[in-house]
Amino acid sequence: MTLEEMWKAVSENNASYDGIFFYAVKSTGIYCRPSCKSKTPKRENVCFFNTAEQARAEGFRPCKRCRSDLLDYKPIKEIAEKVKRRLGDSFRKSCKLNRELRQLGISQRRMAEIFKGEYGITLSKYMSNLRLKEAKRLLSDTNDEIINIAYSVGFDRLSSFYRFFKNGTGLPPAAYRKECRK
Protein backbone atom coordinates (compact mmCIF):
# COMPACT_ATOMS: atom_id res chain seq x y z
CA MET A 1 0.00 0.00 0.00
CA THR A 2 1.38 3.39 -0.89
CA LEU A 3 1.50 6.40 1.40
CA GLU A 4 -0.83 8.13 -1.01
CA GLU A 5 -3.37 5.37 -0.72
CA MET A 6 -3.17 5.45 3.07
CA TRP A 7 -3.51 9.21 3.16
CA LYS A 8 -6.52 9.03 0.87
CA ALA A 9 -8.13 6.42 3.17
CA VAL A 10 -7.53 8.69 6.16
CA SER A 11 -8.93 11.79 4.52
CA GLU A 12 -12.00 9.86 3.46
CA ASN A 13 -12.46 8.05 6.84
CA ASN A 14 -12.50 4.89 4.81
CA ALA A 15 -13.54 2.09 7.15
CA SER A 16 -12.50 -0.68 4.82
CA TYR A 17 -8.88 0.07 5.81
CA ASP A 18 -9.57 -0.38 9.52
CA GLY A 19 -7.26 -2.97 10.96
CA ILE A 20 -5.05 -2.77 7.89
CA PHE A 21 -3.06 0.22 9.10
CA PHE A 22 -3.11 2.96 11.72
CA TYR A 23 -2.16 6.59 11.50
CA ALA A 24 -0.76 8.81 14.17
CA VAL A 25 -0.77 12.58 14.49
CA LYS A 26 2.50 14.05 15.68
CA SER A 27 0.95 17.26 16.95
CA THR A 28 -1.51 15.47 19.27
CA GLY A 29 0.40 12.26 20.04
CA ILE A 30 -2.70 10.20 19.24
CA TYR A 31 -3.05 7.26 16.89
CA CYS A 32 -6.24 6.35 15.07
CA ARG A 33 -7.94 3.94 12.75
CA PRO A 34 -8.40 5.16 9.19
CA SER A 35 -12.14 5.50 9.73
CA CYS A 36 -11.78 7.81 12.72
CA LYS A 37 -14.23 10.67 12.44
CA SER A 38 -11.93 13.13 14.16
CA LYS A 39 -10.95 16.17 12.17
CA THR A 40 -8.57 15.21 9.36
CA PRO A 41 -5.08 16.19 10.50
CA LYS A 42 -2.55 18.08 8.43
CA ARG A 43 -0.74 15.74 6.09
CA GLU A 44 2.69 16.78 7.36
CA ASN A 45 1.76 15.80 10.92
CA VAL A 46 0.72 12.27 10.02
CA CYS A 47 2.69 9.07 10.12
CA PHE A 48 1.55 5.55 9.40
CA PHE A 49 1.90 2.23 11.16
CA ASN A 50 0.98 -1.31 10.27
CA THR A 51 -0.07 -2.18 13.77
CA ALA A 52 -1.29 -0.44 16.90
CA GLU A 53 1.71 -1.81 18.82
CA GLN A 54 4.10 -0.03 16.51
CA ALA A 55 2.31 3.24 17.10
CA ARG A 56 2.41 2.70 20.86
CA ALA A 57 6.08 1.78 20.71
CA GLU A 58 6.70 5.20 19.14
CA GLY A 59 4.97 6.80 22.11
CA PHE A 60 1.54 7.51 20.59
CA ARG A 61 -1.61 7.15 22.67
CA PRO A 62 -4.79 5.48 21.47
CA CYS A 63 -7.67 7.68 20.35
CA LYS A 64 -10.70 7.75 22.63
CA ARG A 65 -12.97 8.30 19.71
CA CYS A 66 -12.14 5.39 17.41
CA ARG A 67 -10.76 3.23 20.22
CA SER A 68 -7.67 2.38 18.26
CA ASP A 69 -6.41 0.49 21.33
CA LEU A 70 -8.98 -2.27 21.20
CA LEU A 71 -7.27 -5.09 19.42
CA ASP A 72 -10.36 -7.16 19.16
CA TYR A 73 -12.26 -4.26 17.76
CA LYS A 74 -13.47 -5.66 14.48
CA PRO A 75 -13.20 -3.75 11.28
CA ILE A 76 -16.29 -1.67 10.80
CA LYS A 77 -17.59 -3.55 7.85
CA GLU A 78 -17.56 -6.81 9.71
CA ILE A 79 -19.54 -5.33 12.58
CA ALA A 80 -22.07 -3.80 10.23
CA GLU A 81 -22.54 -7.09 8.45
CA LYS A 82 -22.91 -8.95 11.69
CA VAL A 83 -25.53 -6.54 12.92
CA LYS A 84 -27.37 -6.81 9.66
CA ARG A 85 -27.31 -10.58 9.77
CA ARG A 86 -28.60 -10.64 13.33
CA LEU A 87 -31.36 -8.24 12.49
CA GLY A 88 -32.35 -10.51 9.65
CA ASP A 89 -32.38 -13.51 11.95
CA SER A 90 -34.26 -12.08 14.85
CA PHE A 91 -36.08 -8.88 14.02
CA ARG A 92 -39.30 -10.58 15.05
CA LYS A 93 -38.43 -10.56 18.70
CA SER A 94 -37.13 -7.26 19.94
CA CYS A 95 -35.96 -8.54 23.32
CA LYS A 96 -34.04 -11.38 21.76
CA LEU A 97 -32.63 -8.98 19.24
CA ASN A 98 -31.33 -6.61 21.87
CA ARG A 99 -29.68 -9.46 23.65
CA GLU A 100 -28.07 -10.68 20.45
CA LEU A 101 -26.80 -7.23 19.59
CA ARG A 102 -25.41 -6.76 23.08
CA GLN A 103 -23.28 -9.85 22.53
CA LEU A 104 -21.42 -7.98 19.82
CA GLY A 105 -19.87 -5.99 22.64
CA ILE A 106 -20.22 -2.46 21.33
CA SER A 107 -22.51 0.31 22.46
CA GLN A 108 -25.91 0.76 20.83
CA ARG A 109 -24.96 4.23 19.81
CA ARG A 110 -21.74 3.15 18.17
CA MET A 111 -23.53 0.30 16.45
CA ALA A 112 -26.16 2.66 15.10
CA GLU A 113 -23.42 4.95 13.76
CA ILE A 114 -21.57 2.10 12.13
CA PHE A 115 -24.71 0.76 10.56
CA LYS A 116 -25.81 4.12 9.22
CA GLY A 117 -22.34 4.80 7.88
CA GLU A 118 -22.14 1.47 6.12
CA TYR A 119 -25.63 1.13 4.69
CA GLY A 120 -26.88 4.69 4.66
CA ILE A 121 -30.00 3.74 6.58
CA THR A 122 -30.69 3.78 10.31
CA LEU A 123 -30.92 0.54 12.27
CA SER A 124 -34.51 1.20 13.20
CA LYS A 125 -35.50 2.03 9.65
CA TYR A 126 -33.81 -1.11 8.42
CA MET A 127 -35.60 -3.17 11.01
CA SER A 128 -38.94 -1.56 10.15
CA ASN A 129 -38.39 -2.50 6.53
CA LEU A 130 -37.77 -6.10 7.50
CA ARG A 131 -40.89 -6.16 9.64
CA LEU A 132 -43.02 -4.56 7.01
CA LYS A 133 -41.83 -6.94 4.35
CA GLU A 134 -42.54 -9.95 6.52
CA ALA A 135 -45.95 -8.61 7.54
CA LYS A 136 -46.88 -8.09 3.90
CA ARG A 137 -45.76 -11.58 3.07
CA LEU A 138 -47.82 -13.10 5.88
CA LEU A 139 -50.88 -11.09 4.95
CA SER A 140 -50.76 -12.06 1.33
CA ASP A 141 -49.53 -15.65 1.58
CA THR A 142 -51.15 -16.98 4.75
CA ASN A 143 -54.50 -16.90 6.45
CA ASP A 144 -53.00 -16.10 9.84
CA GLU A 145 -55.03 -13.83 12.08
CA ILE A 146 -53.80 -10.26 11.91
CA ILE A 147 -53.15 -10.23 15.64
CA ASN A 148 -50.84 -13.22 15.24
CA ILE A 149 -49.05 -11.59 12.35
CA ALA A 150 -48.55 -8.51 14.51
CA TYR A 151 -46.96 -10.68 17.22
CA SER A 152 -44.82 -12.58 14.81
CA VAL A 153 -43.21 -9.46 13.41
CA GLY A 154 -42.39 -8.16 16.88
CA PHE A 155 -45.38 -6.03 17.93
CA ASP A 156 -47.09 -6.64 21.21
CA ARG A 157 -50.07 -4.42 20.47
CA LEU A 158 -52.40 -4.61 17.55
CA SER A 159 -52.86 -0.84 17.55
CA SER A 160 -49.15 -0.15 17.09
CA PHE A 161 -48.99 -2.74 14.36
CA TYR A 162 -51.91 -1.09 12.56
CA ARG A 163 -50.28 2.29 12.78
CA PHE A 164 -46.95 0.93 11.63
CA PHE A 165 -48.44 -0.97 8.72
CA LYS A 166 -50.59 1.89 7.54
CA ASN A 167 -47.65 4.28 7.68
CA GLY A 168 -45.59 1.91 5.61
CA THR A 169 -48.11 0.90 2.98
CA GLY A 170 -50.92 3.43 3.13
CA LEU A 171 -53.38 0.64 3.89
CA PRO A 172 -54.60 -1.05 7.05
CA PRO A 173 -53.53 -4.71 7.23
CA ALA A 174 -56.97 -6.13 6.43
CA ALA A 175 -57.38 -3.90 3.40
CA TYR A 176 -53.92 -4.83 2.22
CA ARG A 177 -54.79 -8.49 2.46
CA LYS A 178 -57.97 -7.92 0.51
CA GLU A 179 -56.06 -6.08 -2.19
CA CYS A 180 -53.68 -9.02 -2.52
CA ARG A 181 -56.49 -11.50 -2.95
CA LYS A 182 -58.28 -9.63 -5.70
CA distance 142 to 17: 46
Interface residue with Zn ion among 63, 111, 135, 153 (CB under 5 A) is 63
Contacts of 63 (CB under 8 A, 6+ apart): 30, 31, 32, 33, 36, 38
**Sheet-wide strand order for 22-25:** 46-49, 22-25, 30-32, 61-62
Which window, 40-48, 55-63, 86-94, 163-171, contacts Zn ion (CB under 5 A)? 55-63
The yes or no reply on residue 66 touching Zn ion (CB under 5 A) is yes
The yes or no reply on residue 24 touching Zn ion (CB under 5 A) is no
Site for Zn ion in 25-54 (CB under 5 A): 32, 36, 38
Whether 32 is catalytic is yes
- Chain center to CA of 98: 13
3-state secondary structure of 53: helix
In the complex with Zn ion, the residue whose CB is nearer, 77 or 84, is: 77
The yes or no reply on residue 149 touching Zn ion (CB under 5 A) is no
Query: Can you give the binding site for Zn ion, defined by CB under 5 A?
Result: 32, 36, 38, 63, 65-66
